[in-house]
Amino acid sequence: QPLPGIQYRTSQEPEVEDQDVNACMDGLRTTYNFYRTVFDRKSVDDDGLQLEASIHYSIRFGNAFWDGTAKQMVFGDGDGNSRFGRFAGLFNPGCFVNSLDVIAHELTHAVTQFTANLEYQGQSGALNESMSDVFGAMVVQWKNDQTVDQADWLMGKDIIYQNSESLPESAKNAHSLRSIKDPEASTNLDPQPASVQSTLYFKKEESTEEDDDYGGVHMNSGVPNFAFYKVAMALGGRSWDRAGKIWYDTLTDKRLQRKAKFVDFARLTVDHAQKLYPEDKSVAQVVQKAWEEVGV
Ligand SMILES: [Zn+2]
């Protein structure tokens, strides 16, 4: 169906009856405010782009995404429902518009598009995915004013339809898509490698096939995710204060290439840690050590 569809509500207008509209609006607003307040970024393009979202997209659509061409968000309703019987998909009805981590994850794809524009393939694609997870988690922590040890660090929390027959046996106790804190845990729908040496590391990195997840972009993102987690934990306090600033300055650094590998990104984070905290050399050391621990 053609996007964007009919207009339900603008941000200036009061709430409407359809709670999915209001929930989605709240998520967009919180993400916008996070980037504006924490990084002085004016919308995803830093030029005031008005954020638009189409919801109730398609039928039983089990995903949400940033459409980089139309420059807008698109949300499905979720495909997991007992009414669909054995054709039920994996995601609870209405889960995407009600999930701030999903909304912030997708909008961060827009931030990445307007900055480093990391190519969605192989390690640069895994970095692209990781940016969305890491900043998505920070938005949730910022909204809840959580410290790094109070946060759950989960992506796609409680969105999985547990009764789905399409849920693989190995994922029967999954309650999130991914965990930045514990990438390999079996409570993730998609356990990810916590280091480059992990047996979970997706090795067909050169693949450009969707069936190979474009070279494991949703798999290998576990590695940079875990590096960020280690830095945030070692520095303590609020993730967006120091770890987040280092990551943001790296993502928006002109030197970060479209086809950057983990090692390129890692080097720039160390460089920005030194620039941001010249008086406290331990910060750059923490960053260096975190990347070494994940095998980069
Ligand atoms: Zn993504």
CA 225 to ligand 1 centroid distance, Å: 13
CA 11 to ligand 1 centroid distance, Å: 25
CA 262 to ligand 1 centroid distance, Å: 17
pLDDT-based confidence at 85, cuts 50/70/90?
low
Catalytic, 218? Answer yes
Write a three-state SS string for 199-216. Answer: CCCCCCCCCCCHHHHHHH
pLDDT computed for residue 96 by the predictor: 85
pLDDT tens-place string over residues 143-162: 999 999 999 999 988 787 77
pLDDT computed for residue 87 by the predictor: 62
Catalytic, 272? Answer no
End-to-end CA distance of the chain: 43
Architecture, CATH, for domain 19-293: Orthogonal Bundle (1.10)
**Catalytic option among 105, 106, 129, 272:** 106
Domain boundaries, the chain: 19-293
Q: How many residues does the chain have?
A: 296
**Catalytic option among 105, 119, 129, 218:** 218
pLDDT tens-place string over residues 9-55: 898 899 999 898 899 999 999 999 999 999 999 999 999 999 998 98
d(C-alpha 185, C-alpha 236), whole Å: 23
CA 8 to ligand 1 centroid distance, Å: 26
Buried residues in 171-191 as b, exposed as e (16+ CB within 10 A): beebbbbbbbbbbbeeebbbb
